[in-house]
Amino acid sequence: MKNRKGVTLIELLIVVLILAALSAIAIPRISQSATNAKAKSCATNIDILNSAIELYNAENDAYPTNLTTITGDTSLFPDGAPVCPITGEVYSTTLSNNRVNATSHSH
């Protein structure tokens, strides 16, 4: 036999099938991780808003009437009101028991 140079079609097809199988496993996991990270970021934003409400209460001896009072304070939120990373919307300004209700904004 002569010295072989190159790759046969069968070897190339096997490599392509292996790569396809690996990508079929990896791509859904990566996209799911991004969704989970956004949901956790949203929950963190809600915790930060609730902490800011408590800080406002400690400084003013009263809870704010709505969330705009907190998010409009540039000393608390210099970059503006936080937005939900999933929907891109500002959180509801209505407070439930002096809190941003995480269950009404669940993903």
pTM of this prediction exceeds 0.75: no
Identify the residue whose tokens are 């209700």: 101
Residue 90 β-bridge partners: 83
Per-residue confidence of the chain (107 residues) as pLDDT tens digits?
567 778 889 999 999 999 999 999 998 888 889 889 999 999 999 999 999 999 999 999 999 998 999 998 888 889 888 999 988 888 888 888 889 887 767 66
How many C-beta neighbours within 10 Å does residue 70 have? 22
> Assign residue 85 a region: left if phi > 0, alpha if psi is -120 to 50, beta otherwise?
alpha
